[in-house]
Amino acid sequence: MESSSDIVVGLDIGTTKIVVMVGRKNEVGKLEILGMGRSESLGVTRGVVANIEKTVQSIRTAVAEAENKSGVDVRVVNVGIAGQHIKSLQHRGIKMRNTLDDEISQEDIDMLINDMFKLVTLPGEEIIDVLPQEFIVDNEQGIKDPIGMSGIRLEANFHIITGQVAAAKNIHKCVHKADLEVQDVILEPIASSAAVLSEEEKEAGVVLVDIGGGTTDVAIFQDGIIRHTAVIPFGGNIITEDIKEGCSIIKNQAELLKVKFGSALANESQENEIVSIPGLRGREPKEISIKNLSHIIQARLEEIIEHIYYEIKNSGYENKLIAGMVITGGGSQMKHIGQLFEYVTGMDTRIGYPNEYLANGNSDEITSPMYATGVGLILKGFEKLERQKGQLKNNEQEDSIKVRQGEKTKGGFLQNMLAKGKQFFEEDEN
């Protein structure tokens, strides 16, 4: 059995599904997924918990499946948070240091970050995450990592993510009721970006679009730094609703139609293609044209893309995104969706698969864009573990230095006393 410290669990509470993933790192630092459990999400609407009991039930089902498959007892989880209430803002923090002799340490950065958590927010909101963008040491700008530098004035630009207190509380409540412990709450677009984006893309400038069931998450990176995050309250479910209304069929049939025959470009569908759907209780079967179906999907998707494009313009980085767009999430599996994105925004587009950081031998299912958030939550969990281990190591080193210095001075004092005593007796004898 693995030691629990080597294993990280991600819990993705989505609008359509709840996914629990158990993973560990192999000898080359790639991610091995030991087991995965999924269940239908019953108590979540648009990324926010609406019914606690139902959500707890769904979490328990997914956890039990993941435990059976992995043979790991799941206790501590990294949870993803999303929803329309998520907002992001920029802020600058300053810390004056006392001396130039000491190098800037992780402690100094942590103090700056903790100061950001004390910022005043709107009533009913709280700060979920604080991400350092770049540091300024003694007016020297554009420093990515100031640890080890000397300087008196340490400044930093931060990307601060806020959300509703109630939404975050409800997530914590659900996790605790399911007999689990929350290690960290991570914003879902940031988790997804950890799984599907390469460092080169983040450097060049890229937009990550995660199309889920109830929400579409947007994260913009440039120069390796996160610049903008937003959550749009539309996703795949709204397309299903449109199909249900437009074709006068029930929801399950609409979902199956969308997944099996749906296309984001109506022009790519044949005129004469027709699908027959069984009628309800002895009624005649319904015939639906694939062309009409694609028209319904395209109209709604264009609307969602317009929203995304508005967020890109809003961030001010529209002309700096060399790497274009990366689409992930369950909604990215729609046929011709990449072409539609390129057509509406004029940006290069690719589908993001979370296989870059995964070890070989994982099942094909896990490498689906649908599970990008789950994989990202595990990766983020490992990042935090490594940071904590690094801090412990530093603290141990500092303690040992202090002990050594203490021993030196102690030894020196005793030797001086002995020497003085010896000198006194020698003088007395004379």
132 and 236 assigned to the same domain: no
Residue 144 lies in a domain: yes
Residue 138 lies in a domain: yes
Say what the pLDDT of residue 4 is.
47
Q: Which residue from 22, 21, 3, 25 is spatially nearest to 12, judged by alpha carbons?
A: 21
Question: d(Cα 375, Cα 19) in Å, to the nearest integer?
Answer: 10
264 and 129 assigned to the same domain: no
218 and 158 assigned to the same domain: no
Residue 372 lies in a domain: no
Number of domains the chain is built from: 2
Say what the pLDDT of residue 3 is.
45
351 and 203 assigned to the same domain: yes
Regarding predicted confidence, which is higher, 389 or 325? 325
* Parent domain of 135: 87-164
Residue 156 lies in a domain: yes
Which residue is listed with tokens 């709840």? 18
137 and 228 assigned to the same domain: no
150 and 272 assigned to the same domain: no
> Domain boundary at 323, 355, 387, which?
355
345 and 262 assigned to the same domain: yes
The pLDDT tens digits for 189-227 are 888 998 999 999 999 999 999 998 888 989 999 988 888
Average model confidence (pLDDT) for the chain? 85
Residue 387 lies in a domain: no
Number of Cβ within 10 Å of residue 413's Cβ equals 10
- What ranges in 227-289 are assigned the alpha helix state H? 236-247, 251-261
Say what the pLDDT of residue 368 is.
86
Quick one: what percent of the chain has pLDDT higher than 90? 26
Say what the pLDDT of residue 94 is.
92
**176: pLDDT confidence band, cut at 50, 70 and 90?**
very high
262 and 316 assigned to the same domain: yes
107 and 245 assigned to the same domain: no
Say what the pLDDT of residue 221 is.
92
Quick one: what percent of the chain has pLDDT higher than 70? 91
> Is the predicted pLDDT of residue 391 greater than 80, yes or no?
no
Looking up residue 222, the CATH number of its domain turns out to be 3.30.420.40
**241: pLDDT confidence band, cut at 50, 70 and 90?**
very high
CA angle 358, 363, 368 (to 5 degrees): 70
Give the phi and the psi of residue 294 in degrees, each rounded to 5.
Answer: -65, -35
213 and 279 assigned to the same domain: yes
Say what the pLDDT of residue 396 is.
74
The lowest-confidence range among 114-123, 322-331, 352-361 is 352-361
**156: pLDDT confidence band, cut at 50, 70 and 90?**
very high
Residue 259 lies in a domain: yes
216 and 127 assigned to the same domain: no
Q: What is the pTM of this model?
A: 0.84
CA angle 321, 324, 326 (to 5 degrees): 130
Residue 159 lies in a domain: yes
CA distances 334 to 103, 195, 267, 298, 347, Å, are 52, 20, 15, 11, 18
Say what the pLDDT of residue 351 is.
92
The pLDDT tens digits for 60-79 are 999 999 999 888 888 889 99
Average pLDDT over residues 299-319: 91
Regarding predicted confidence, which is higher, 27 or 340? 340
> Domain boundary at 287, 322, 355, which?
355
Q: Which two tokens stand for residue 267?
A: 């022009």
Number of Cβ within 10 Å of residue 269's Cβ equals 22
Residue 171 lies in a domain: no
159 and 242 assigned to the same domain: no
> Domain boundary at 105, 139, 164, which?
164
> Is the predicted pLDDT of residue 108 greater than 60, yes or no?
yes
Looking up residue 126, the CATH number of its domain turns out to be 3.30.1490.110
